[in-house]
Amino acid sequence: MAAARALARGVLLGSYSICRSRSLIFNSVQKRGIAACIDPSIGLTDEQKEFQKVAFDFAANEMAPHMAEWDQKEIFPVEAMRKAAQLGFGGIYVNPDVGGSGLSRLDTSIIFEALSTGCVSTTAYISIHNMCAWMIDTFGNNEQREKFCPDLCSMQKFASYCLTEPGSGSDAASLLTSANLKGDHYILNGSKAFISGGGDTDVYVVMCRTGGKGPKGISCLVVEKGTPGLSFGKKEKKVGWNSQPTRAVIFEDCAVPVTNRLGAEGEGFSIAMKGLNGGRINIASCSLGAAHASVLLARDHMCVRKQFGETLSNSQFLQFRLAEMATKLVASRLLLRQAAVALQEGRPDAVSLCSMAKLFVTDECFSICNQALQIHGGYGYLKDYAVQQYVRDIRVHQILEGTNEVMRMIIARSLLSES
């Protein structure tokens, strides 16, 4: 019965085609500009180029025209995201039997990189949503997969990932939200902080303590909005990521059925970390898209802006600066794609490589976007120009999904544990 529902959903997705807006042919703002040496389609298979093309087209037509408005008015663009889901972006690396697209981590990275050029904040949320859908797909039993995944893949329902607490960020394993077993329910008490989508989303993947101290005492529960005892804090006012609401998620004697637990008791931390490996690739991909767009914006500005009697593009310093930005961009992209391949192949170095990629790419891309802003001069500081939004939006990528300091911890541990 549930399988038939999933199949019907697949048929529904296939027969309804989503059309792009008329601006495709006469779009004067060419965000997906062309520059051969930093072309993100180099080295991709024909199929990957097709995925990338759809993502770029969608970003240019459905997201880029609205990205400033979504940021300034703090709009959670549900309709645009559902349109993306119709194209298969709701569960990119989720199994097709529950409505996902079944693509690889590399395909996913390429798609998020392209979508991010249209709006970093929205793409970053879509990637978090994808991570949650994957966790349920991978660690859930068949009932859980069939109950939650189809709606998540179509974005009929939205998801949030709840790990961080006011008292435990980097030290995630010390989380305090408790889940005490009472009959066939866990009673949750505690609160989560900085939850992306919190309050507006429907499905919460929550890491909570069912056992003793440390990581082994943590389990993973799926909590649905509307469950008594589940409430939310005020919407946070952020520097960027404004197209997604961020709130505290509060549990007060919140009863969650045992059947909503993903995996066994004590496996929650491991599930959370495995989700984050992919999440780190995705977040870094979003940084990459922003940096790519910023390099093109900087280049275009340099060709137009004149000072001292000539265009900025004649200034050797700026030429060198642009070259450095492009080099860092390509280096970041290569490292990230390698990490994505390592993850999808299940290689032993995958965790370290994902951490290295997240660390390097988010740092370098922030620097690239920041330099692009500088090249714009005073105009770069105005909200009329997109470059400042890229800078503000990707700044947080160096902090969440594991701070870049934690990334160093992971890498160092891997190096030193061999001796």
Partner 1 sequence: MSGRVLVGVKRVIDYAVKIRVKPDHTGVVTDGVKHSMNPFCEIAVEEAVKLKEKKLIKEVVAVSCGPQQVQETIRTALAMGADRGIHVEVSGKDYETLGPLQVSKILAALAKKEQADLIILGKQAIDDDCNQTGQMTAALLDWPQGTFASEVTLDADKLKVVREIDGGLETIKIKLPAVVTADLRLNTPRYATLPNIMKAKKKKIANVKPADLGVDVSSRLEVLKVDEPPQRQAGVKVETVDDLVGKLKEAGRI
Which one among 44, 75, 82, 86 touches partner 1, defined by CB under 8 A?
Answer: 86
Question: In this complex, which beta carbon is closest to partner 1, that of residue 4 or of residue 36?
Answer: 36
- Where b means 16+ CB within 10 Å and e means fewer, 221-240 reads bbbebeeeebebbeeeebeb
Interaction of residue 339 with partner 1, rule CB under 8 A: no
Letters for 9-48 (x = contact with partner 1 by CB under 8 A, - = none) are -x--xxx-xxxxxx-xx----x-xxx-x--x------xx-
Rounded to a whole number of angstroms, the minimum distance from the CB of residue 61 to partner 1 is 9
Cβ atoms within 10 Å of 271's Cβ, excluding its own: 22
Interaction of residue 263 with partner 1, rule CB under 8 A: no
Which one among 40, 77, 88, 275 touches partner 1, defined by CB under 8 A?
Answer: 88
SS3 209: strand
So which residues are the catalytic ones?
401
Per the CB < 8 A criterion, the answer to whether 140 and 262 are in contact is yes
Question: In this complex, which beta carbon is closest to partner 1, that of residue 20 or of residue 216?
Answer: 20
Interaction of residue 301 with partner 1, rule CB under 8 A: no
Number of residues that bind partner 1 (CB under 8 A): 36
Interaction of residue 97 with partner 1, rule CB under 8 A: no
Letters for 343-362 (x = contact with partner 1 by CB under 8 A, - = none) are --------------------
Interaction of residue 98 with partner 1, rule CB under 8 A: no
Question: In this complex, which beta carbon is closest to partner 1, that of residue 14 or of residue 348?
Answer: 14
Which of 328, 333, 76 is closest to 202 using CA atoms? 76
The pairing of beta strand 230-232 with beta strand 203-209: unpaired
Per the CB < 8 A criterion, the answer to whether 212 and 234 are in contact is no
Letters for 41-60 (x = contact with partner 1 by CB under 8 A, - = none) are -----xx-xxx-xx--xx--
- Cα–Cα distance measured from residue 122 to residue 242, given in angstroms and rounded to the nearest whole number: 9
- Cα–Cα distance measured from residue 399 to residue 419, given in angstroms and rounded to the nearest whole number: 30
Phi/psi class of residue 402: alpha, beta or left (left: φ > 0; alpha: ψ in -120 to 50)? left
Position 211: which residue type? G
- Host H or E run for residue 119: none
Interaction of residue 103 with partner 1, rule CB under 8 A: yes
Question: In this complex, which beta carbon is closest to partner 1, that of residue 86 or of residue 367?
Answer: 86
The pairing of beta strand 203-209 with beta strand 159-162: parallel
- Cα–Cα distance measured from residue 100 to residue 94, given in angstroms and rounded to the nearest whole number: 4
Rounded to a whole number of angstroms, the minimum distance from the CB of residue 139 to partner 1 is 23
Question: In this complex, which beta carbon is closest to partner 1, that of residue 60 or of residue 193?
Answer: 60
**Binding region for partner 1 (CB under 8 A):** 10, 13-15, 17-22, 24-25, 30, 32-34, 36, 39, 46-47, 49-51, 53-54, 57-58, 86-89, 92, 96, 101-103
